[in-house]
Each structure stands twice: as C-alpha cells, then as structure tokens.
Amino acid sequence: MEGKKRTAVVGCGWFGRAHVRNFVAASELVAVCDADKKVAEDVARQYDARAYTDVKAMLDAEKIDAVSIVTPPQAIPGIGLECARKGCDLLIEKPCGLKLSDLDPLFEYKDSVRIMPGFLEIFNPVMDDVLKEVKTIGEIMTVDSTRIGLFPKRNWPVGVMVDLGVHDVYLHREIAKAATGDASVVEVSSVLRYLSPSSRYEDAIFVLLKFNKMVTCISANWITPAKYRKLKVAGTDATLEADFISGVTKKIWGEDLKGPTARTIEHVVTPLVREEPLAREIKTFLYAKSIPVTLQDAHDVLKIILQALHQL
C-alpha cells in the first residue's frame, strides 16, 4: 500500500459514520461534512478530524485526495461534481443519483479522477465464492435473489428498488459477466406493490431481467419483519446459494440421478472469520491499481432501476 491518502466523508448519518470509521483505519481522515452542524462536530470530535457543513468550504480549506459521498441520492451528483473539479477521487454511494442526466457531468472527469460507485455487496466475501464457482455449474438457467427488511428510518424520496433492489441489479450483472462475458440487460419487466393507496413510493418490487444469455429475478420489499439477503444461481450441473448476512455459501449437485442411488450432495462453506465488506470496498477504492466498477457501471445500473420503476 502506498502512503496514506488524505480523505474526507460527506454525510454523517449511520452509514456515513461506518464510512468514517473505515476511512480512519485505511487513510488519513482530515475532514467530515454534514448539513447538521452538531452531527458533523460530534463525528469530527470522535475521530480527530475537522467538521464542515458546506462542501465547498471544506474543499477550499483542505488538501484532500479522496472523498466518500454518503448523502441522500439526489444530492450525490452535485456534490461529486464539486469534488471532481477539485481533483478528488470519488466513492459515491449507490444508487449514485436519481436521474441519468444527473450523472452526465461527471463523465467529463472519469479519466482525471477515480470515480467508483459504492456497490458494497460486490465486496462481500460470499461473492468471491459465487464468482469463482459460477463457471463450474453448467449453463445458467436462473438467478434469483431476495432482499427484504423493515422500512428504513430516513426521509429519502425513494422506494425499495433504489434502497435495496439496486444491490441485486449490480450483483446479477457481475454474475452474467463472469458466466457469459456479457453484462448487457436487453429487457426489464417488473411489478410494483404499494403498502397503501396513498404510498408515493413502492414498498415491494418484483423484477425480471433478461440478459443476452440468461434471465434473472429480483424480489425486494421493506414491509416484512425480517432481514433476508439471499441469492441462488441455478445451472444445468449444479446450484449455488449465498447468504449475504451469515456468509454461508453452498454448492449443490446430483449424482446418479437416473440410477438406483440417485442423491443430492451439498458442499457448505461457513466462514469462521469475515472481513467487513465496507473495509474491502474502501481499501480497493483508495489503493487498488484499478477499480472493479466504474461510473459507467453506475449509469447502467441506474438505467435498469429506472426501467424497473417504469420511469424510462
């Protein structure tokens, strides 16, 4: 690892604080910024950084190599543009914006600064296992994922697709790329459900993605009193299952399926130690020679989300 970079975090909510904690471990955190002055000062005091409530003031006052933007999604592109103009590398939290046009100005800086979307679950160790095994299970028939939980306690102008379903969109693209070499989605269809007739944003969504060589399904809701994050990849020779919470992965296949001793065999991997996905993501963003996902990936994923929401 090269010398520690000077960093800042914009947005000090619960997940922003997780970013702050990991940036302290991986870099020299010099500043934090939040619209709530008390929140910014409390976080800055805890981690011996300087507090700001205005991004421009922070950028003018500090020498910063890289910034993580963990704000409501509608604010991310504008803040990112300010930081890019100052030559800062950007880690921009999913979904990176709410309109494709909001991301367009950032493309001017894609070759001069590092711009990486915060696609956290790519860095979950279970995805290492899935991507390693996906070419061993034959032709992929289906990919199914379910991501559910209770309604989040924050006032964001988004529904469950932007909040939760986005993770499975980029995961399915990664699986398609690893299995077939093609992450292009050629058709998107969906059904949206609302908890009440007055609901402005969807509370549950069911999405079908058609890739050139495979079809995948996403189910997401935030009205179920449980937290569930699982993915299944079914191939002609075997099936992979991954639990993103427990870290357990399974490979399931059959032997002598047409004979007298037909049986199913499971190979289960249960991790004893798990590296925090956010820590892996931030270290990759700061110091890897190349990043696994780019601004173009952020654009492509947002396009799929908007199609699923019938907004494109």
pLDDT digits over 191-246, tens only? Answer: 999 988 888 899 999 999 999 999 999 999 998 888 999 999 999 999 999 999 99
CA–CA gap between residue 276 and residue 123 (Å, rounded): 8
Q: What is the CATH number of the domain that holds 62?
A: 3.40.50.720
Query: Please, is 108 exposed, middle or buried when counting C-beta atoms within 10 Å of its C-beta (0-12, 13-18, 19+)?
Result: exposed
Secondary structure element (H or E) that encloses residue 204, with its range: strand 204-211
Torsions phi, psi of 61, nearest 5?
Answer: -90, -25
Asked if residue 242 and residue 170 are part of one domain, the reply reads yes
Residue 255 has pLDDT above 70, yes or no: yes
Structure tokens at 81: 């543009």
Examine the domain organization and report whether 127 and 105 are in the same domain: no
Give the CB-side neighbour count of residue 179, counting CA atoms within 13 A. Answer: 30
In a domain, 264, yes or no: yes
Domain contains 297:
no
Whether 103 and 126 map to the same domain: the answer is no
Indicate which CATH number applies to the domain containing 197. 3.30.360.10
pLDDT, position 280: 97
The confidence score (pLDDT) of residue 216 equals 98
Categorize the per-residue pLDDT at 2 as very low, low, confident or very high, splitting at 50, 70 and 90: low
142 and 103: one domain?
A: no
For residue 270, the 8-state DSSP code is -
Asked, for residue 15, whether it belongs to a domain, the answer is yes
Q: How far apart are CA 191 and CA 204, in angstroms?
A: 8
Q: Are residues 105 and 219 in the same domain?
A: no
Q: Determine phi and psi for 113, rounding to 5 degrees.
A: -135, 160
Region 62-76: mean pLDDT is 97
How far is the C-alpha of 86 from the C-alpha of 277, rounded, in Å? Answer: 28
Over residues 115-165, the pLDDT tens digits come to 999 999 999 999 999 999 999 999 999 999 999 988 776 777 899 999 999
Q: Is residue 298 included in any domain, yes or no?
A: no
Token readout for 210 is 């058609």
pLDDT of residue 140: 95
**% of the chain residues with pLDDT over 90:** 90
Q: Does residue 295 lie in a domain region?
A: no
More confident: 178 or 200? 178
Mean pLDDT for the chain overall: 95
Residue 44: Cβ-neighbour burial (10 angstroms; 0-12, 13-18, 19+): buried
Same domain, 20 and 154: no
* pLDDT computed for residue 223 by the predictor: 87
Q: Which structural domain range is residue 164 located in?
A: 121-274
Q: What share of the chain is helix, strand, coil (3-state, %, to 5)?
A: 35, 30, 35
Phi, then psi, of 137 in degrees rounded to 5: -110, 15
- Which of 58, 86, 118 is the C-terminal boundary of a domain? 118
pLDDT digits 0-9 by tens, 124-136 = 999 999 999 999 9
**Number of domains forming the structure of the chain:** 2
* Confidence check: pLDDT of 85 > 60: yes
The answer to whether residues 126 and 150 belong to one domain is yes
| 131 shares its domain with 259 | yes
Q: Is the pLDDT of residue 1 over 70?
A: no
Asked if the structure places residue 302 within a domain, the reply is: no
What torsion, rounded to 10 degrees, do the Cα atoms 103, 104, 105, 110 define?
80
